[in-house]
Amino acid sequence: MRTNHFKYYILLRIARLMYIGFHKDNSEEVNVKIVFLNILNFSYIINQLIATLLYFFAGVYNSALYSLALMPAPFLVYYFNSKMQYLLGKVFIFIYYNTIILLTSCYFSHPYLSYYYIPAIIGSAIVFNTKEIWYLLGVNMLSVSFLIIENTSLRQYLPHFYQDRSYDKTTVIVLVVHINFVIGLLCMYAYYMHLKIKRLIQLNKTLKDTKIKLKSQKADYVLFSEASSNFLKSPIYIFNTFIGKIEQGIQDNKSYDEMKPYFSVIKKSIMEEEKFINNMFDYNKTIITLPQKTPVNLNLTINEALAIFRSKNKNFSFSVDECEIILKIDRELLRKIVLIIAENAFSYNTNVHKSLEVKCCINADSITVDFKDNGIGITENFRENIFKPYVRINSTEISKGIGIGLLKAKKMSELIDSQIILKESSPLGTTFQLIINTYHGKITNKNRIY
């Protein structure tokens, strides 16, 4: 048990070390590169520790002490990242790598050490982003310059502080450490490319989804504009007609009382026009809404929305199933859908006491919510067009709406991965059904049921 606790403690500490500098305000690319730099730096420290132990067990104590002395400096990278000085951390660590490799070559005079510049070049190419291209070129120029110096006749001008007398032992250790670091770097690079590929796949999916959404929005706007053209023209026609009558009345010296009905008609038309414009902006706001999914108690949210509606309409009653369902969904959009359905149940109803009955049912891959009212029902010739703009669900004149509520409910339901349909209707009432898509045991973009 203690061993497991210790293992988890170590893994947690390493994970926290890897994510130093990771911040929610950074872009995904910046955070990925920060994590990669932290892992690269951690790999270097572990590699130096391995080299120190190998030198120690091989009996090359001066080399072991030298490797041990090189370990603390890279921890500064974590300090820079914690202060969000990412560029400073990158520049520091790669200049440090190159300088240490050169000094190590001068100290040991070992030919294989010159190959250590290659991982530094590869690592810098991954860590620096496009905005830091000049820093990347500067660091790589330094690496290439040192590499050329050590592998050409210029090497003779380098000082030689120490002559390696344990060449056989150190050669194996240098190669092991170098190969280990290169393999680790390649694995990290493969992981980085895997993340890039996943990001590109996700981006491609997002672009496709956006294209489909834009196509749908375009169709909505076309439908909306076609349906609203008559709605816009009618008040304008009324304005012109009755303004003409008022002008004629002024010429005929009519009194205000005689022309008062004209002003009333114009005022009513202005109110209708204002209502239309407000609904147009409200609809536009709806279709560009980004859903914010949070765990929601379905029954409680429906109860709260209907209670708010009842507080404004005293002759309205409702009942909701006593079944607790928690799912991840946009609470505000769900509440608005319920209010729109309640508004229709109340408006298209000639009964003194208007009621709405809500029943929920959990299915294999969905939750269905039935809203049954005791209203006048929807005549058959209206049923196919009830989710189109400016189409009332009946020819009754008791409703003050302009016929856009169900269209908004339809769009809101799509935003929360749901559908709203007309389940049934008769002169005794109408039942609308909200079908909320869910999933069990696998992650999708749909609503999660708990």
Listed range (160-174, 241-255, 350-364) with the worst mean pLDDT: 160-174
pLDDT number for residue 447: 53
List Cβ neighbours of 332 (8 Å cut-off, separation of 6 or more).
Answer: 292
pLDDT number for residue 443: 35
Cβ 416 vs Cβ 330: under 8 Å: yes
Coil, helix or strand at residue 431: strand
DSSP state of 343: H
How many angstroms separate the CA atoms of 297 and 56, rounded? Answer: 63
**Runs of H (alpha helix) within 296-393:** 298-312, 331-347
pLDDT number for residue 259: 79
How many angstroms separate the CA atoms of 338 and 340, rounded? Answer: 5
Number of residues that this document lists for the chain:
450
How many angstroms separate the CA atoms of 329 and 366, rounded? Answer: 13
How many angstroms separate the CA atoms of 49 and 271, rounded? Answer: 79
| More reliable by pLDDT, 170 or 197 | 197
pLDDT number for residue 444: 40
**How crowded is the C-beta side of 430, counted as CA atoms within 13 Å?**
24
User: Using one digit for the tens of pLDDT, what is the confidence trace for 107-129?
Assistant: 766 666 777 788 788 888 888 88
pLDDT band at residue 9 using 50, 70 and 90 as cut-offs: confident
CATH 3.30.565.10 maps onto the chain at 291-450
Q: What is the dihedral of CA 89, 90, 91, 92, to 10 degrees?
A: 40
Angle, to 10 degrees, between the axis of helix 28-58 and the axis of helix 2-18?
A: 120
pLDDT number for residue 398: 43
pLDDT number for residue 434: 93
Mean pLDDT of 154-166: 64
User: Using one digit for the tens of pLDDT, what is the confidence trace for 20-42?
Assistant: 888 888 887 788 888 888 888 88
pLDDT at 170 over 80: no
How many angstroms separate the CA atoms of 406 and 393, rounded? Answer: 9
- % of the chain beyond a pLDDT of 90: 11
| More reliable by pLDDT, 328 or 404 | 328
List Cβ neighbours of 301 (8 Å cut-off, separation of 6 or more).
Answer: 331, 334, 335, 338
- Segment holding 433, helix H or strand E: strand 429-439
Mean pLDDT of 192-203: 78
Cβ 393 vs Cβ 429: under 8 Å: no
Mean pLDDT of 292-319: 90
CA distances from 137 to 130, 157, 232 (A): 11, 25, 62
pLDDT number for residue 318: 92
Listed range (127-136, 159-168, 292-301) with the worst mean pLDDT: 159-168
pLDDT at 376 over 90: no
User: Using one digit for the tens of pLDDT, what is the confidence trace for 59-95?
Assistant: 777 778 888 888 888 888 888 888 888 888 888 888 8
- % of the chain beyond a pLDDT of 70: 82
The overall pTM is greater than 0.75: no
**Runs of H (alpha helix) within 166-297:** 167-251, 256-287
- CATH classification of 291-450, choosing from 3.30.360.10, 3.40.50.2000, 3.40.5.10, 3.30.565.10? 3.30.565.10
Cβ 151 vs Cβ 32: under 8 Å: no
